[in-house]
Amino acid sequence: MSKTIYVFNRDEEKEYHYNITEDTVIYHFSINSGGKVDIHLVTEGVSLYYYYNNINYSEHTFMIDVVHDKSHTHSEVFNHGVNVGSDSLTYYVNGIVPKTSFKCICNQENQILNLKDGKSTIWPNLLIDNYDVDSNHGAYIGKFNEEKIFYMMSRGLSYEEANRLLLNGFLLNSDSIDLNQISDFVEEIEKI
Amino acid sequence: MLEIKNLSGSIVDSDIQILEDFSLTVKEGEVHAIMGPNGTGKSTLAKIIMGHYLYKVTSGDILLDGESILHLSVDERAKKGLFLCMQDPTVIEGVSNSEFLRTARSTISSEKVNLYSFIKEMETGMKEVGLDSSMLHRSLNQGFSGGEKKKNEILQMKFLKPRIIILDELDSGLDVDSLKIVCKNIKNYMKENKKASLLIITHYPRILEYLKPDYVHILKDGKIQKSGDLSLAFEIEKTGYTGIKDVSHE
């Protein structure tokens, strides 16, 4: 059983520090906010799942460092952002494994959807100083795939309805999220 | 009734015609099959009928019950009763099978769908097409095998109750037993919905043995070159397209 943490920001720049000593899932929901997150996996064998879901209306930068201080640690970081307007949104995502940490898994997946002409940037960095590590990263900036929209519309959904379902799936990207904990965020999705 | 009249079509931003002066009429309750070599426009035809964004109609018309559908959006065509069972159904992460189908059902029927009865109905439907009920809550087509994706398409057909069903290579990626199951479901659907029509696009006669088309057409160079009954499909299997009389072999 993992420890679960919910974090919610709206219109603020905040810093968070976590020392992970047991298997942990962090759901971080953010509306029009930036900030910095600094995470250390300080106990051997622990895992971290970090879901950052962000709705952006003005210029913001989000930075996250995940440091594998101990061996056999495992991190999976998912950063999903929706850049609603024309401003810039930037993610710096650093997975860090020092020389002294062996057999770690360090993965990150980053996506930003530009709904209009916003300027979005992702810096997906893997700073790996040990040969015995399994590590992957991915970054995508763009719009929803047209083939997905076509498929959904071919079953009768309007363009708007298809986009709404895709947005929900994109920003609430884990089956385990307790929606009661994030009602403000769910309401905000409806406003996009 | 679906009427395709002298239809020519190409890929958007390209002048190369894929369909040229193609005509076909599919009346209520009829089953038509379209066969043809690779690259002759079979899937293009299916996508153009459905209004796919990558294709354009350059001349001709597509009529449903006597009215042109060319100006209609994809969802409006679906609401008119068109259904395209796709060759490679799209994966949609984050949108569950049940949520998607429930939204589609309520949109197409314009009625609010009761969650409890819908889930019960969906569990029954999944059993009938041979899908595990755990797939109800999984993301649409994500992690599904090729066969499971095709079964899921047929599940959607059963739920959305279309009247013109286009099967674009339904039989690709299906093993013999799965093909039997999906064909049985399609046949039952056709029995229960007497006005529904089928347009089957395929390379192989096996699916046609199950679904028994009234007409088999050979599509080549963008138009129908020969029509016949089921025996034409077996002739193609035996001799290939090069052995069929009246079909150009340039």
CB-facing half-sphere around the CA of A164: CA atoms within 13 A: 14
Q: Which of A53, A148, A154, A160 to mutate to test the interface with B (most CBs of B within 10 A)?
A: A154
A158/B53 touch (CB, cutoff 8 Å), yes or no: no
> Which residues on A lie below 8 Å from B84 (Cβ)?
154
> Which residues on B lie below 8 Å from A175 (Cβ)?
137
**Taking CA atoms, what residue in B is nearest to A175?**
B94
A170/B94 touch (CB, cutoff 8 Å), yes or no: yes
Distance CA B140, CA B106 (A): 17
B73/A150 touch (CB, cutoff 8 Å), yes or no: no
B104/A158 touch (CB, cutoff 8 Å), yes or no: no
Q: What is the DSSP string of B54-103?
A: TEEEEEEEEEETTEE-TTS-HHHHHHTTEEEE-SSPPPEEEEEHHHHHHH
CATH number of B2-92+162-243: 3.40.50.300
> Which residues on B lie below 8 Å from A152 (Cβ)?
92, 100, 104
| Shortest CA gap B15–chain A (Å) | 22
Range list of β-strands (E), chain A: 3-10, 13-20, 24-31, 34-41, 47-56, 60-68, 74-83, 88-97, 104-114, 119-128, 133-142
A168 part of contact set with chain B, CB < 8 Å = yes
Distance CA A90, CA A88 (A): 7
Distance CA B109, CA A77 (A): 40
Element (H, E) at B186: helix B176-192
> Which residues on A lie below 8 Å from B52 (Cβ)?
150
Q: Phi/psi of residue B146, each to 5°?
A: -60, -40
Among the partner residues A150, A168, A173, nearest to B53 by beta-carbon distance: A150
**CB-count exposure of residue A160 (10 Å: 0-12, 13-18, 19+):** exposed
Q: Which of B103, B106, B158 to mutate to test the interface with A (most CBs of A within 10 A)?
A: B103
Model pLDDT, residue B243: 83
Query: To which residue do tokens 């061996």 refer?
Result: A71
A173 part of contact set with chain B, CB < 8 Å = yes
Give which of B4, B18, B30 is closest to B199, Cα–Cα. Answer: B30
Give the distance from CA B22 to its chain's centroid. Answer: 18
Summarize pLDDT for B10-57 with one digit per residue, the tens: 999 888 899 999 999 999 999 999 999 999 999 999 999 999 999 999
Q: Hey, where are the domains in chain A?
A: 3-144
**CB-count exposure of residue B101 (10 Å: 0-12, 13-18, 19+):** buried
Summarize pLDDT for B136-191 with one digit per residue, the tens: 889 999 999 999 999 999 999 999 999 999 999 999 989 999 999 999 999 999 99
Mean pLDDT of A37-58: 98
> Which residues on B lie below 8 Å from A155 (Cβ)?
78, 100-101, 104, 108, 156, 160
What's the whole-model pTM score? 0.89
Query: Is the confidence metric ipTM above 0.85 for this complex?
Result: yes
**Taking CA atoms, what residue in B is nearest to A145?**
B92
Summarize pLDDT for B203-240 with one digit per residue, the tens: 999 999 999 999 999 999 899 999 999 999 999 999 99
Mean pLDDT of A157-170: 94
Q: Hey, where are the domains in chain B?
A: 2-92+162-243
Burial of B120-154, coded b for 16+ CB within 10 Å and e otherwise, reads ebbeebbebbbbeeebbebbbbeebeebbbbbbbb
